[in-house]
Structure 1
Amino acid sequence: MAQANQQTETSDSGGIDLSKSSTRELLAGVTFSLPYLVIAGLFLFGPLLLALYMSLHDWNALEPGQSEFIGFENYQILLSDPEFWNALWNTVYFVVLTVPPIVIGSLLLALGVNRDVKGQWFLRTVFFSPYVLTVAVVGLLWADIFNASGLIPYYVGGGNWLNSHSLAMPALAIATIWWQLAFNFIILLAARQNVSDRLYEAAKLDGASTWRMMRDITIPQMQNPLIFVVIVTFVGSFQVFGQPFIMTDGGPSFSTTTIVLYLYDTAFTGRDFGYAAAVGYVLFMILIAVSATSYYFLSGDRE
């Protein structure tokens, strides 16, 4: 009995020590995370809550205390606003034009550069170099290229692409693809280099073709980076602002006005900050839905 009691006390003592250890680890984790949590609260969660509050008011930017609460009226107006739906359609069109080429193109570049070819370092530098440019530089550069006297109209025709209803958005997409390929290229190149060569050697011994190795080895092994690239590209394309703002200013005839550009014009030109906040929250919900849907279908986890 005494021995059993001693063992019980030892067990209880061990349990208490384990609990104390877990508590210390939790406190240490919270302490180290605190700076990030404070910054996130100030610059992420705080603005999100403020934007939601603004969207429920007829917001007075000069005297916020005089803002009138109007409930969901801004959202009701938004649903029947043809300019909003036009901006949403333009944004979706831009996403369709840019996301597949950026993802597929960056993957092909990463797989090609990963091969044993001469001048790999030079190719990596060339492919990544556009990403170091700012959106202002990219916009001005490609505005000149698509100008009536630029390279594209000279060789392809079509006049000034940025003044064409049918060619302005493809022009923005081409500039964006050229600019954004670089970031995804680096991510996927690093992911490909982490795939063990032994898997490919074993597949070759089994007589697997290049396509079979791509389907059964490369893509599955790069699944998580690919999901990241797809989601980031979707989110980035839905939030496009700098390219249309610099290259077309939403024209011609609002054919390149995207949601974020419409939000900007509504807030800082129309001075309707409450309605602009409602537009921003609708965009926020769209991005959540797109990200969740992309992850669901690409991860292969249906449970």
Structure 2
Amino acid sequence: MVQATEQTDADESELINFSKSSTREWISGATFSLPYLLIAGTFLFGPLLLALYMSFYDWAALDPAQSEFIGLENYQVLLSDPNFWNALKNTVYFVALTVPPIVVGSLLLALGVNRDVKGQWLLRTIFFSPYVLTVAVVGLVWTEVFNSTGLVPHYLGGGNWLTSHDLAMPAIAIATIWWQLAFNFIILLAARQNVSERLYEAAKLDGASSWRMMRDVTIPQMWNPLVFVIIVTFVNSFQVFGQPFIMTDGGPSFSTTTIVLYLYDTAFVGRDFGYAAAVGYVLFLILIAVSATNYYFLTGDDE
């Protein structure tokens, strides 16, 4: 009986110590997280909620107190706005032009550089270097490449690609692919280097060809980073702004006006901040839907 009482007291003491330890860890974690939470709350979640609030108003930017509540009218107008649907169509076209080359190209570069070849460090530096450039520099450089006296029209013809209704968006897509390959390349190169070489040795002993090793070893082992790259590339492409803003300003004839560029023009040129907020939230919902769909089909996880 005494032993049972002592055991019970010991269990209670251990439980109390565990509870105190967990509390200390929680307080410590919360303390370290607090600066980030304050910054995120001030510059991310605060504006996010304010934009949602603004989307229900005919917002008066200079005197918010004079803003008129109009409910869902901004969203109703958006659904029948041909300019919005044109911007959405242009954005989807841009996504289709950029996502497959960026994902496939970065994967091929990562697999190629991972091979035992001379000058690996130089190749990695060359492939990653475009990503250190800002979007302004990228836009200005490629504007010179595609204008009427640039390299591309000189060798491929077509005149100034950026003033062509059919060629302007492909030109922006080419500039974006060149720029964005680098980020995904680094992620996928790191993922490839984490694949154990023993798996390839075992596959070779079984007589597997290079294609079989790619399909049965490389891709499955790199699948999670690859899913991340695909989703991030989709999100980035749907949010494209700087390239069309600098290279074409949405032209010619609004053929390169994307959703974010249309949002910018609506807010800061048309001064219709409430409607622009509604456009932003529709884009936010589109990104959630696209990301969730990609995640579901790429992972098979419906939770």
Interval of TM-score (by shorter of Structure 1 and Structure 2): over 0.9
User: Residue in 2 aligned with 1:22?
Assistant: 22
Compute the displacement of 1:32 (Å): 1.2
Distance 1:254 1:103 in 2: 28
State the shift of 1:3 in Å.
1.9
Q: Report the CA distance between 1:302 and its aligned residue.
A: 4.4
Aligned counterpart, 1:107:
107
Deviates more, 1:8-17 or 1:104-113: 8-17
State whether structure 2 residue 96 is matched by structure 1 residue 96. yes
Give the corresponding residue for 1:297: 297
1:1-303 paired onto structure 2 within 5 Å: 1-302=1-302
Q: Partners of 2:31 and 2:48 in 1: how far apart? A: 24
Residues of 2 paired with 1:18 and 1:152: CA distance?
Answer: 67
* Equivalent-residue separation in structure 2 for 1:151 and 1:295 (angstroms): 40
Q: Deviations over 1:145-194 (max 9, x none)?
A: 11112111111111111111111100100010011111111111111111
Q: Residue type matched to 2:59 in 1?
A: W
- Structure 2 unaligned blocks of 5 or more: none
Letter in 1 for 2:224: N
CA distance in 1, matches of 2:281, 2:292: 17
- Structure-2 separation of matches of 1:3 and 1:112: 67
Cα distance in 1 between the residues matched to 2:19 and 2:191? 39
Shift of 1:299: 2.0
Work out the CA distance in 1 between the residues paired with 2:45 and 2:299. Answer: 28
What do the CA deviations read for 1:251-296 (whole angstroms, capped 9, x no partner)? 0100000000000000011000000000001111111111111111
Structure 1 residue 42: Cα displacement:
0.8
Distance 2:284 2:301 in 1: 24
Deviates more, 1:162-171 or 1:82-91: 162-171
Deviations 1:2-56 (A, max 9, x none): 2212211221222122122212211111111111111111111111100000101
Cα shift readout 1:55-98 (whole Å, capped 9, x = no counterpart): 01100000011111111110000000000000000000000000
Q: TM-score normalized by structure 1?
A: 0.98
Give the whole-Å Cα distance in 2 for the aligned partners of 1:114 and 1:45. 40
Aligned to 1:253, the other structure's residue is in SS state: coil
The AA in structure 2 aligned to 1:218 is T
**Corresponding residue pairs, total:** 303
Deviates more, 1:49-58 or 1:131-140: 131-140
Which residue identity does 2:211 align to in structure 1? W
Q: Partner letter of residue 240 of structure 2? A: V
Root mean square deviation of aligned Cα: 1.0
Q: What is the one-letter code of the residue matched to 2:299?
A: S
Aligned-partner Cα distance in 2 for 1:257–1:250: 4
CA deviation digits over 1:194-239, x for unaligned, max 9? 1111110111011111111111111111112111111111111111
**Cα distance in 1 between the residues matched to 2:65 and 2:271:** 16
Q: Distance in 1 between matches of 2:269 and 2:209?
A: 58
What is the identity, as a one-letter code, of the residue corresponding to 1:263?
A: L
Unaligned runs of 5+ in 1: none
1 CA distance for matches of 2:29 and 2:209? 48
Within 1, Cα distance between the matches of 2:252 and 2:180?
Answer: 24
Between stretches 267-276 and 13-22, larger displacement belongs to 13-22
Residues 269 and 137 of structure 1: is their aligned pair in 2 closer, same or farther, counting only changes over 3 Å? same
Give the TM-score normalised by structure 2.
0.98
Task: Please tell me the residue identity of whatever aligns with 1:268.
Answer: F
